[in-house]
Structure 1
Amino acid sequence: MSPEPGHQPFMHGYDAEALKNWSPQSDRWARYFRSRVPLAPRIAPFPATQARPELPTGAQVMNLCNDYDGAFLTARKYDDSFARRLLRFWQYTDFYGSWHGLPVDGSPVAEPVHGLVNPPNPAYTDAAHRNGVRSLGCWFWPRPGAFAPYLERHADGSYPVADKMIEMAAYFGFDGYFINHEAETPPDEAKRLCELLGYLRSRAPEGFHIQWYDTIRPDGGLDYLNHLNEENAPWLEAGADSFFANYWMTDAGVETSRATALRLGRDPYEAVFHGTENEQFGFDPEYDPRLVFPDDRPARTSWALFGSHFVWELHPGHEDPDAQDAVFDRERRYWSGPAADPTRTGRALPHEPGAPEPGNHLKWDGVAHYVTERSVIGAFPFVTRFNTGHGRGFFLAGRRASHADWYNASVQDVLPTWQFWSRGGDAPPDFDYTRAYDGGCSLRLPGGATVRLYKTELAVRTGAERVSVTYAGNAGALEVGLLFTDDPARFVWLTEREAPETTGWRTSTHPLTQFRDRTIAALAVRTASPVHLGELTLRDGEFIAPSCPEAFQVDTAYVAGDTAEAFLSWRIADPAQVWYYDLRRGDEWLGRIYDEVYYVKSLRRHGNEAATELTLTPVAPDGTPGEPAACSMNWV
């Protein structure tokens, strides 16, 4: 049952019956909710280029949060609005966990019945993987019905629910599960759950992660112990890879967690994530993160964040597309600290007992105060257009190709490592949704500023490598800065030699021949006057244009007057050859995805045309477009 008129795919959850009988063929929307982006490897830490060089690099972060808006019945991979939450700080996260539950397919809209298991939104998984972050589905109990059916065990020792959980993770493209079993459970069922967990661990592939939330004891009693100790350690011993401790932490409790992990032979940074509750308390949580991160000492465990979506959800204007700048500002202060600069973190006001002040960012240190920034930029090519994953329109080669609002985290670019490490200028950098070169936005830079953008590990080996920047602004207004591992205190600045006058976008290309056998550790830009930065590209040779997509077709179309919904498909290419596909109707952009299917929500007929020709253009990882495929949608 669709939550609203039309045929748009939406995500759903799974109860015991749905799990045991699941297959991609029987799940009507399964093929529309797959993540296809592989998990990117991260480069090694290099303290010299950190925003805080003295900060140790061991602690990890689990970010347990909603996706776009936390909606139960409109959980979609992409859609046609702008006022949605898009996470822009993957560089401080190691695990992303989906949180909100989803109704079972066919559940009544008025009284939805939620399933035990729901996959993460595949668009968020795509963005997570592009940034080297593992994405976890969610198990949440209690749900309607009895728990025993989930624990069924076959005569051969297999657990059908566990087998299907592994199969679903592989098909949908995510990396494991966050287990939140938050209800009293009979002792015999708790014992069988422990056995199921061990079976799940033994059957899961390499890289599959199981995180256990601090809920029931092994005897089934619900008891939030707020740290890892001898009572709840059996869940780790049974099969969980890590433990998410409840939020009421104490100094002694954190120390006990660390000691227990070591006793089990586990790395405390791998095994224990102490939690901070931001959903309710925003910038002013009850329990101080400094219990995990003591001043002037390494972290004692890793860190779990619950509710980082509060920056959007608790803002009174979060549904207003014209009020999103304030939401984005809150997000920067949550991750980069009260000064919205990861080099200037630390709270300006102390936490005081009593009523919390969720909106007071001056009471929050910033995630970057405790956790080092990560990067996946370790090889050529690298291309970014600074797309945050939504927009008030869409641009191609600097031309507006759509006027429609949209969101799709699946095509979010790798965003700047530091947001924002900027010096000079009369305003901070920001994303500008009124002007873009390719996608939904550009990066607006003030004049007279030096902005450090990306942490990298790019070895210049052949001398054919080059860096290009596409920007709009005065001729010669932008320089590119390179910082090298062998001299990390000094930028080398590349200046545009010939800068033809133009009021539009210009591309400045700089050969890297002179830097052969050196490794680029960071990239920056320097502006003489205000600039919109539309694209940054690092190439090491000419890329081969992707071949024309095969089997591009309209699977189904639903026509209502002069408007149609269309389900399209094609044969997907390997990600080594294709970065994404652009779908167009003439010069009009309709969608972008790395997948083999796409749903067009509203295709409008032009005049009395009998058919509309659609094109699908593959784009290589360095941005080189290939030959488009074409098909037609018939109106009559």
Structure 2
Amino acid sequence: MKRNKVHKFALKWTALVLTSVLLSQTLSPSVYAGDTLPYEGESAKGPNQPYQHGYASSHILDWTPTQDVYGDMLRARVPLQQRNSSFAATQAHPALSPDTQMFTLSGDYGNAFFDSYSYTNKFSQYLFNYWQYTDYYGYWHGMPTAHVPEELYDPQKDWTEKWFEFGILNIPNPGYTNAAHKNGVLSIACIFFSDNDRGPQTYKQMLVQDAQGGFPVAKKLIEMAKYYGYDGYFINQEEASKGVATEDIPRYKQFMKYLRDQGMYVQWYDSTINETGKIAYQNEFNAVNSPFVKDKQYGQVSDSIFLNYWWDKAKLKSSRDHAKQLGLNPLKTVFAGIEGGNGDFGRWKQKYDLRLNIGDNGQPMNSIATLGADFTHNALDEEFGGQDTNRRADNAYQWMTFIRDRVWWSGPNQNPVHAQRNASADLSDVKASGANWDGIAAYIAERSVIRGSHFNTSFNTGHGLQYVVNGVVSNPKEWSNINIQDILVTWQWWLDTQGKPLSVDYDYGPNYTKGTRFTYQPVGAYQGGSSLVVNGELDSDNFLRLYKTDLSVNKNSNLSITYNKPSSDDSSVLSIRLIFKDIPDKVVKVSVPNSGKQTTGWVSRSIDLSAYQGKTIAAFGLSFDNANKTIKNYQMNIGQIKITDGSVLKPAAPTGFKITKALTDTNEMIVAWDLKDYSKVKQYNLYENGSYIGGIYDSTYYIKSLNHKSGELTLTAIGADGTESEPARLDYDLNAAVSHINVETKGNGEATIMWKNPSEADGTVKLTLTTDYTDTAFHKTITADSGAETATFTDLPTNGDSYTLRIAIGNHTPVAYTGHLADTTIEPYAKENVTVTGSTYTLALPTSKDWHYLYVYENDVPKQFGVTYVSKKFPYIVRGRTKLSELTFTPTSRTSSLKIVIKDYAGNKATTYVR
């Protein structure tokens, strides 16, 4: 997306994907954020940890599920949940139209190049907590394409020195898709073409057509979305130097229309291609860009447009009117763009004001889109010391992110009811400003998926400094896993009181740095990683609204609450407050007995709701009452709330539980099981010797580090009301398996395997080698005598494929080892990829998965090629960084010799003679 140059001292940390060429206007400094640096120590990537990659435009056509690296481990499986119908009476702003939509284009776990995981053991990973204000979540950062060697990335080098290929397609992190779907939010992939950021990749490679006029790449994109479980595409066409050829514009529209007609949600960015095919940002919805949403010839070709940022009130009014003239609903079609953190170095003085989007009726005229809302986390480094800090990866500073997030979403008062700019808001400790920013909650009505007759929450935000089960620490290590994030509190924080308001926070336990503004005693979670905590001076009743719901009550309905009150005995009363749909202006208050007494841990209380049968709970919250006495240092932690009527059956124990890879030398393991329908099971929990490992709704899980070489793995299924099944059990003993595996591959197709036997090795050794992530898998098994500690494979491929080697002694469970075969082969550059027009030569990009450099020799002298971002030239074309324009050249002589030498990542070369 179009953006300006950044502050010079921040360049080292500026993300390649969040920086684009200065095109036509000089504006205030744009959002920037540093790379998410690789984690270190125990949180460093596991040797076999699944991570995402980008997709080059030329390779999407060849995509298959079986050949996509880690594709089997990175699928989102939670189906999109239905949202409740709007109910104005329980909105923070009852007069605010619920029809205004929100498109959030942001990072997921950060701007990581080789470190985008679905879950890992790092608390400081950024987690999104505001799904209730979002209708579409798109994923904005770039990742290297598959097979790019990680050693090409030096995180200490300048952002212009990333000499590897980024994909034009960034698909959603599966953990984020699962969390989005759980909250009724569509998960949107990002397609991004840019001269600098994506080098020689071009839209033309995406718009190829078959003999019948179809779009095979579009078909692949639909296939990918269905396999990985996401919902559509945000298309950002910003190739500035050449733009889009005018003859290709109709094809581009047909391409998008095909995606949309097949059920994909498609949003077009306002990098509008005008009649000349060049980029022409409109900053409004008008006759120039509206054909990329609704075309006279093709009809509706996309669902909506993300307007570029330089609008004003007149442009937004005109945008609304133009949409209506086309028979389109502007609240479904037109999204006014805001760049998160845009403005001065204080990051909050937004240049463009969403109040300008308010019409004469007091309602937004168009919907809203933001880019980079994760700057609240990513910009911690720049705002607190510049390039030599890494606060966003430091657990001690995460409290700053949480507050900055609330300022962005709930407003500077951190209360959505008062979501408006406030110059006096005390935000200096987190370097946020409320003087020029209303919270998103001022314009977007909160949404909810809480429906039916049951609901449960443990206020688990999806990461923690320990994992707790029923109030007892089950795993003392830090973790991050948005897959198991609860549906979070609807309002952060809607607190009504006539006196001094209590403070509210998520409490992550004794290892959490909470910041000086909070004074509570850290208690931590009852279940998961966090609990809800309120504390302070209780001088009047405080009503904390928690959830917007549509929950039916019947004769069996019950509410249970688990709480921990570490403060002294007092006269306070904790109450449940219920708002029913038929009388929303009346709040029903149900007291929790003896809730003023100090507890020595977690206490659960059950409240019978049968007196309200036939009613519908439209919202509920908690009341903290002082009983007309001022109470100093009051604290109450809420660990869990459940509403249920007993109609949900306890899930059966999981079936098919098995080890698929036991990587004994690295303490890693991959397990699998049978996946049950989401209507019956919402999550699976995995334990090792009783200690919690992780959870997910999927049929497989990667264990980064086993704590014991032997023991018992257990797997449980979690029902819709939080009920946990009986466990499926799986014994394992890696002490009885081979270890210290070493593989020496040779270019002649041989591989010598060496290992160390356990103390009691008895039986024939069976070794099986299978290549991974290829459509033509190679499989070979050999045996060695009992007691042997070496064996040799012969006649193996020499193409560098990844493989899994399994070694088993007798009837023992096989252990696994992964690596890459020797690579001595290379596919020559195809002569037909050279197009000759008169005396001009144009080179198409190679299609082989591992090519790295392309040398062009004229009379054995290498030609020089320019690259993106910097003025350097190299005697070769470098994958991902050579300019597209450089692929067209004119030889110095008509009679000179021309040859092309291709070199792959392994150093293999092949020569093609052109003339």
TM-score over 0.5 (shorter chain): yes
Deviates more, 1:187-196 or 1:64-73: 187-196
- For residues 293 and 272 of structure 2, the distance between their equivalents in structure 1, rounded to whole angstroms, comes to 13
- For residues 265 and 279 of structure 2, the distance between their equivalents in structure 1, rounded to whole angstroms, comes to 23
- For residues 4 and 93 of structure 1, the distance between their equivalents in structure 2, rounded to whole angstroms, comes to 31
Question: Are positions 1:423 and 2:488 aligned together?
Answer: no
Deviates more, 1:574-583 or 1:111-120: 111-120
Give the counterpart letter for 1:79 in structure 2: T
Matches within 5 A, 1:102-117: 102-109=143-150, 110=152, 111-117=163-169
Per-residue Cα deviation, 1:536-558 (whole angstroms, up to 9, x for no partner): 11112243221121211111122
Per-residue Cα deviation, 1:455-495 (whole angstroms, up to 9, x for no partner): 112222x3111111111127885211111122222211112
Give the counterpart letter for 2:173 in structure 1: N
- For residues 4 and 336 of structure 1, the distance between their equivalents in structure 2, rounded to whole angstroms, comes to 34
Aligned to 2:258: 199
Aligned to 1:76: 117
- For residues 697 and 621 of structure 2, the distance between their equivalents in structure 1, rounded to whole angstroms, comes to 29
SS of the residue 1:363 aligns to: coil
Give the counterpart letter for 1:326 in structure 2: M
Identity %: 37
- For residues 4 and 91 of structure 1, the distance between their equivalents in structure 2, rounded to whole angstroms, comes to 32
- For residues 410 and 93 of structure 2, the distance between their equivalents in structure 1, rounded to whole angstroms, comes to 11
Conserved 8 A contact 1:125-1:174: yes
- For residues 4 and 79 of structure 1, the distance between their equivalents in structure 2, rounded to whole angstroms, comes to 8
Aligned to 1:535: 640
Give the counterpart letter for 1:364 in structure 2: W
Give the counterpart letter for 1:177 in structure 2: Y
1:295 CA displacement: 7.2
Matches within 5 A, 1:307-322: 307-316=372-381, 317-322=391-396
Give the counterpart letter for 2:563 in structure 1: Y
Question: Are positions 1:293 and 2:358 aligned together?
Answer: yes
Aligned to 1:503: 600
Give the counterpart letter for 1:47 in structure 2: A
Conserved 8 A contact 2:573-2:591: no
Aligned to 1:584: 687
Give the counterpart letter for 1:518 in structure 2: K
Give the counterpart letter for 2:225 in structure 1: A
Conserved 8 A contact 1:420-1:428: no
With over 3 angstroms needed to count, the CA separation of the structure-2 counterparts of 1:482 and 1:587, relative to structure 1, is same
Conserved 8 A contact 2:91-2:445: yes
SS of the residue 1:260 aligns to: helix
Segments of 5+ residues of structure 1 without an aligned counterpart are: 351-356
1:280 corresponds, among 333, 337, 342, to 342
Question: Are positions 1:234 and 2:291 aligned together?
Answer: yes
1:415 CA displacement: 0.7
1:329 corresponds, among 371, 386, 403, to 403
Aligned to 1:26: 67
1:438 corresponds, among 517, 524, 527, to 527
Conserved 8 A contact 1:485-1:519: yes
- For residues 205 and 495 of structure 2, the distance between their equivalents in structure 1, rounded to whole angstroms, comes to 56
Conserved 8 A contact 2:577-2:622: yes
Per-residue Cα deviation, 1:408-432 (whole angstroms, up to 9, x for no partner): 1111111111110113465321100
1:200 CA displacement: 2.0
Aligned to 1:556: 661
- For residues 116 and 169 of structure 1, the distance between their equivalents in structure 2, rounded to whole angstroms, comes to 15
With over 3 angstroms needed to count, the CA separation of the structure-2 counterparts of 1:199 and 1:54, relative to structure 1, is closer
1:69 CA displacement: 1.4
- For residues 379 and 465 of structure 1, the distance between their equivalents in structure 2, rounded to whole angstroms, comes to 11
SS of the residue 1:602 aligns to: coil
2:432 corresponds, among 359, 363, 367, to 359
Aligned to 2:103: 62
- For residues 610 and 486 of structure 2, the distance between their equivalents in structure 1, rounded to whole angstroms, comes to 27
Matches within 5 A, 1:110-259: 110=152, 111-142=163-194, 143-147=198-202, 148-183=204-239, 184-202=243-261, 204-205=262-263, 208-217=264-273, 219=275, 220-237=277-294, 238=298, 239-259=301-321
Aligned to 2:913: none
SS of the residue 1:153 aligns to: coil
Conserved 8 A contact 1:284-1:358: no
Per-residue Cα deviation, 1:57-105 (whole angstroms, up to 9, x for no partner): 2211111110121212111111111112111111111111111122110
Conserved 8 A contact 1:218-1:234: no
Per-residue Cα deviation, 1:41-62 (whole angstroms, up to 9, x for no partner): 1112222211122222221111
Per-residue Cα deviation, 1:195-239 (whole angstroms, up to 9, x for no partner): 21122223x13xx31000001315421111111111111111251
1:253 CA displacement: 1.4
SS of the residue 2:656 aligns to: strand
Aligned to 2:812: none
- For residues 225 and 108 of structure 2, the distance between their equivalents in structure 1, rounded to whole angstroms, comes to 18
Give the counterpart letter for 1:48 in structure 2: A
SS of the residue 2:705 aligns to: strand
Over the aligned positions, Cα root-mean-square deviation in angstroms equals 2.1
Give the counterpart letter for 2:691 in structure 1: E
Aligned to 1:353: none
Give the counterpart letter for 1:631 in structure 2: L
SS of the residue 2:673 aligns to: strand
Aligned to 1:400: 473
1:191 CA displacement: 3.3
Aligned to 2:516: none
- For residues 433 and 4 of structure 1, the distance between their equivalents in structure 2, rounded to whole angstroms, comes to 24
- For residues 593 and 580 of structure 1, the distance between their equivalents in structure 2, rounded to whole angstroms, comes to 5
Question: Are positions 1:341 and 2:398 aligned together?
Answer: no
Give the counterpart letter for 2:656 in structure 1: A
- For residues 295 and 440 of structure 1, the distance between their equivalents in structure 2, rounded to whole angstroms, comes to 46
Give the counterpart letter for 1:292 in structure 2: N
Give the counterpart letter for 1:429 in structure 2: V
Give the counterpart letter for 1:427 in structure 2: L
2:556 corresponds, among 444, 460, 464, to 464
Conserved 8 A contact 1:10-1:76: yes
- For residues 200 and 309 of structure 1, the distance between their equivalents in structure 2, rounded to whole angstroms, comes to 28
- For residues 472 and 301 of structure 1, the distance between their equivalents in structure 2, rounded to whole angstroms, comes to 45
Conserved 8 A contact 2:565-2:598: no
1:583 CA displacement: 0.6
- For residues 160 and 70 of structure 1, the distance between their equivalents in structure 2, rounded to whole angstroms, comes to 30
- For residues 74 and 318 of structure 1, the distance between their equivalents in structure 2, rounded to whole angstroms, comes to 15
Question: Are positions 1:490 and 2:586 aligned together?
Answer: yes
Give the counterpart letter for 1:592 in structure 2: G
Per-residue Cα deviation, 1:321-379 (whole angstroms, up to 9, x for no partner): 011112111111111111101111211249xxxxxx98323321111111111111121
1:294 CA displacement: 4.3
- For residues 271 and 403 of structure 2, the distance between their equivalents in structure 1, rounded to whole angstroms, comes to 34
With over 3 angstroms needed to count, the CA separation of the structure-2 counterparts of 1:198 and 1:556, relative to structure 1, is same
Count how many residue pairs are aligned between Structure 1 and Structure 2.
619
SS of the residue 2:487 aligns to: coil
With over 3 angstroms needed to count, the CA separation of the structure-2 counterparts of 1:191 and 1:515, relative to structure 1, is same
Question: Are positions 1:626 and 2:725 aligned together?
Answer: yes
1:497 CA displacement: 4.4
Give the counterpart letter for 2:675 in structure 1: I
Per-residue Cα deviation, 1:108-129 (whole angstroms, up to 9, x for no partner): 3323311121211111111111
Question: Are positions 1:52 and 2:114 aligned together?
Answer: no
SS of the residue 2:585 aligns to: strand
1:524 CA displacement: 1.1
SS of the residue 1:343 aligns to: helix
- For residues 80 and 574 of structure 2, the distance between their equivalents in structure 1, rounded to whole angstroms, comes to 33
1:272 CA displacement: 0.4
Aligned to 1:473: 565
Conserved 8 A contact 1:218-1:235: no
- For residues 490 and 166 of structure 2, the distance between their equivalents in structure 1, rounded to whole angstroms, comes to 37
Give the counterpart letter for 2:530 in structure 1: C
Per-residue Cα deviation, 1:502-531 (whole angstroms, up to 9, x for no partner): 512111111211111211111011225521
Segments of 5+ residues of structure 2 without an aligned counterpart are: 1-37, 39-43, 153-162, 382-390, 425-429, 510-523, 626-633, 738-915
Aligned to 2:802: none
Deviates more, 1:150-159 or 1:238-247: 150-159
- For residues 392 and 361 of structure 2, the distance between their equivalents in structure 1, rounded to whole angstroms, comes to 38
